[in-house]
């Protein structure tokens, strides 16, 4: 069955029976009770923050990406109302993921992926399959491992206990410990498990054909239990570094796949990103790319500690700039301030940052149509100014990779 792709925006709601456009096949798709039931079960089992449940429907939160369930892929796109509905938000999201390194299309085996027509899930799957083809072409790694087995010839050391147990009446056999050199490597097992999963989730005909062709050439290896600790302990060397991109995508796919272990009918995969963190990563990288300052992200300092307390409570602004004049603190917000005024909680936060970091400037940084700075100041504060920074996310219809340069131009005006 051909998968349908529907596109929604963050904070949008969809309800059972609602008819939505298929962005790929140009026909209508009904959000059914079956789809809702699977998402409701996923929400209840894992407590995911991607959406909330409403009466006979769901409402998406500030997360973007893809949720694949049954025969549909729901692509959740970012949305800032002031930038208008004519913006190609799919392309913008893909470009942001590429820019901050979450979609590594500069990988060695990267070909001309159809970025516009494919869903974000398809892009990750296609890039992964490109990597697998390249790995097969380069040659999969092998390793030595110890093995015990019954053999017709004596090669290695005899396990006398097992020899007595299993070969007492088969004296022509030898139960031995020996060393083999094969592809039963942890990385190959992860790749193989991911290939089998991609085949199972019923991708596009092109991707299905590609994964089947790869599996023909890929060696059958034993299954592996995947969890976050498995990926954390992987260390790359000069022989295994070629696996890095494929393993990173495999991690994204495998750890976000949630099989329905009760009925097996509502398997679900969700690859979602916090839009606030994505915006922060974009601004940070753009500033570093165009900076005459020392730019640091997520700098922590102690904020408060109780008497006898084990650890101090820390504060951590998103971005800290340093130059000859001192420190500038930035905190990014993926939203538009109502009536051009920041919330009191955001102001409290920025006041704390400016005081503890002794910043001479501090700004809340929002997405906007144009880059500008609206100055302000905290009363009874030491810093020179505290205002709002608006950063143009789109330039000439595309992601504005010069956003940092534009921001510094306004900052120094």
* Mean per-residue pLDDT pooled into runs of 10, the chain (413 residues): 82 92 78 90 82 94 91 89 71 91 62 57 90 92 68 64 66 64 83 93 84 93 91 92 93 85 66 94 92 85 74 86 89 88 89 87 91 81 74 88 90 81
* pLDDT score recorded for residue 167: 64
H or E element in which residue 90 lies: helix 89-99
Q: What residues have CB less than 8 Å from 265, skipping those under 6 apart? A: none
* pLDDT score recorded for residue 154: 62
* pLDDT score recorded for residue 285: 93
* pLDDT score recorded for residue 115: 45
257: DSSP letter: E
Query: Which phi and psi angles does 253 have, rounded to 5°?
Result: -75, -50
What span, in angstroms and rounded, lies between the C-alpha atoms of 386 and 384? Answer: 7
The Cα diameter of the chain in Å comes to 93
* pLDDT score recorded for residue 171: 64
Query: Which phi and psi angles does 182 have, rounded to 5°?
Result: -145, -170
3-state secondary structure of 125: helix
Of residues 136, 96, 87, 134, the one with CA closest to residue 115: 96
pLDDT digits (tens, 9 = 90+) for 161-172: 665 667 666 666
* pLDDT score recorded for residue 264: 52
pLDDT digits (tens, 9 = 90+) for 316-340: 889 999 988 889 999 999 988 888 8
What span, in angstroms and rounded, lies between the C-alpha atoms of 128 and 54? Answer: 35
* pLDDT score recorded for residue 156: 61
Helix/strand/coil (H/E/C) assignment for every residue in 196-262: HHHHHCCCCHHHHHHHHHHHHHCCCCCCCCCCHHHHHCCCCCCCCHHHHHHHHHHHHHHCCEECCCC
Side by side, which strands form the sheet with 57-60? 13-15, 57-60, 51-54
Q: What residues have CB less than 8 Å from 359, skipping those under 6 apart? A: 326, 327, 328, 329, 353, 383
CA 236 to chain centre: 20
What span, in angstroms and rounded, lies between the C-alpha atoms of 392 and 369? Answer: 5
Q: Which domains does the chain have, with CATH numbers?
A: 1-87+257-274 (no CATH), 88-142+183-255 (no CATH), 143-182 (no CATH), 290-304+311-411 (3.40.1350)
Q: What is the pTM of this model?
A: 0.83
């Amino acid at each position: 069955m051909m998968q349908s792709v529907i596109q929604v925006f963050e904070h949008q709601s969809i309800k059972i029976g609602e008819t939505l456009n298929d962005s790929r096949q140009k026909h209508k798709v009904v959000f059914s009770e079956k789809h809702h039931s699977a998402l409701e079960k996923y929400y209840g089992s894992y407590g995911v923050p991607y959406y909330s449940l409403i009466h006979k429907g769901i409402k998406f939160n500030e997360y973007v990406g893809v949720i694949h369930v049954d025969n549909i892929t729901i692509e959740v796109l970012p949305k800032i109302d002031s930038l208008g509905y004519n913006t190609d938000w799919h392309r913008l999201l893909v470009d942001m993921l590429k820019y901050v390194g979450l979609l590594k299309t500069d990988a060695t085996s990267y070909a001309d992926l159809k970025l516009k027509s494919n869903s974000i899930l398809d892009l990750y799957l296609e890039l992964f399959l490109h990597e697998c083809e390249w790995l097969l072409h380069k040659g999969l790694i092998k390793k030595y491992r110890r093995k015990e087995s019954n053999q017709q010839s004596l090669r290695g050391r005899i396990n006398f206990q097992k020899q007595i147990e299993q070969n007492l009446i088969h004296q022509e056999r030898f139960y031995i410990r020996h060393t083999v050199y094969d592809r039963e490597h942890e990385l190959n097992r992860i790749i193989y498990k991911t290939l089998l999963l991609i085949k199972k989730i019923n991708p596009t005909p092109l991707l299905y054909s590609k994964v089947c062709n790869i599996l023909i050439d890929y060696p059958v290896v034993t299954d592996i239990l995947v969890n976050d600790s498995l990926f954390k302990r992987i260390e790359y060397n000069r022989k295994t570094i070629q696996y890095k991109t494929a393993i990173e995508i495999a991690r994204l796919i495998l750890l976000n796949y949630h099989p329905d272990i009760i009925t097996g009918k509502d398997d679900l995969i969700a690859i979602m990103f916090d839009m606030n963190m994505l915006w922060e990563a974009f601004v940070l990288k753009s500033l570093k790319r165009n900076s005459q300052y020392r730019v640091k992200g997520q700098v922590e300092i102690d904020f408060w500690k109780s008497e006898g307390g084990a650890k101090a409570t820390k504060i951590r602004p998103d971005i800290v700039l340093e130059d000859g004049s001192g420190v500038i603190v930035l905190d990014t917000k993926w939203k538009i301030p109502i009536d051009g005024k920041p919330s009191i909680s955001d102001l409290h936060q920025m006041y704390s940052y400016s005081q503890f970091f002794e910043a001479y400037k501090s700004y809340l940084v929002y997405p906007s149509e144009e880059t500008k700075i609206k100055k302000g100041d905290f009363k009874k504060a030491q810093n020179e100014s505290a205002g709002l920074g608006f950063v143009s996310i789109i330039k000439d219809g595309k992601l504005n990779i010069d956003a940092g340069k534009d921001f510094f131009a306004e900052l120094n005006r």
